[in-house]
Amino acid sequence: MSHHEHPNATLFRELDAKMKAEGPEGMADYLADDVEWHEIGRDEPIRGKAALVERWAGMGGAGGTFSVDLHDVIANDDHVVELVTATVTMGDKTLTYRTAEIMHVRDGKITARWAFSDDTAAINEFFAGT
């Protein structure tokens, strides 16, 4: 953890703690209403906070579990990048993978997000059909 960090990085450490306590829904307060959320394996982003929260609620209902280990968060005025190790379990399948979560932030809210990884084919295969 950096001891001298951009306020946007501090914001995302707070968000990480909130998500650990409340699950993905804990992020809702940090999303702009018109957020564009790009996911690996989807050509088009999910548009809007309501659609995104609904998607996360649906994934929880499918019986999956999802945990995130925040390795670091790095930020400047234009971008926040979270380095994350995620572990997801669906049924009897488990996948652990690393991502760089790249975000635009305006007035303390996420306005856009992209996820990059070192093996997106493995991620797409795991989530096929969700």
- CB nearer to another protein: give 40 or 59: 40
- Say if CB 61 and CB 68 are below 8 A apart: no
- Say if CB 65 and CB 88 are below 8 A apart: yes
In 1-130, at which residue ranges do the beta strands (DSSP E only) sit?
Answer: 31-37, 46-47, 65-75, 80-90, 93-106, 109-117
Interactions with another protein, residue window 34-73 (CB under 8 A) = 38, 40, 72
CA distance 89 to 62: 11
The answer to whether residue 13 forms part of the interface with another protein (CB under 8 A) is no
- CB nearer to another protein: give 67 or 124: 124
| Binding-site member from 10, 67, 76, 87 for another protein (CB under 8 A) | 76
The answer to whether residue 14 forms part of the interface with another protein (CB under 8 A) is no
Sign of CA dihedral 40, 42, 45, 48: negative
Q: Which position has the token pair 């659609």?
A: 51
Find the part of the chain contacting another protein (CB under 8 A) among 23-31, 44-52, 55-63, 114-122.
114-122
The answer to whether residue 79 forms part of the interface with another protein (CB under 8 A) is yes
Q: How many residues touch another protein (CB under 8 A)?
A: 30
CA distance 22 to 35: 20
Least distance (Å) between residue 102 CB and another protein: 6
Question: Residues in the site for another protein, rule: CB under 8 A?
Answer: 1-5, 9, 38, 40, 72, 74-76, 78-81, 83, 98-100, 102, 114-121, 124
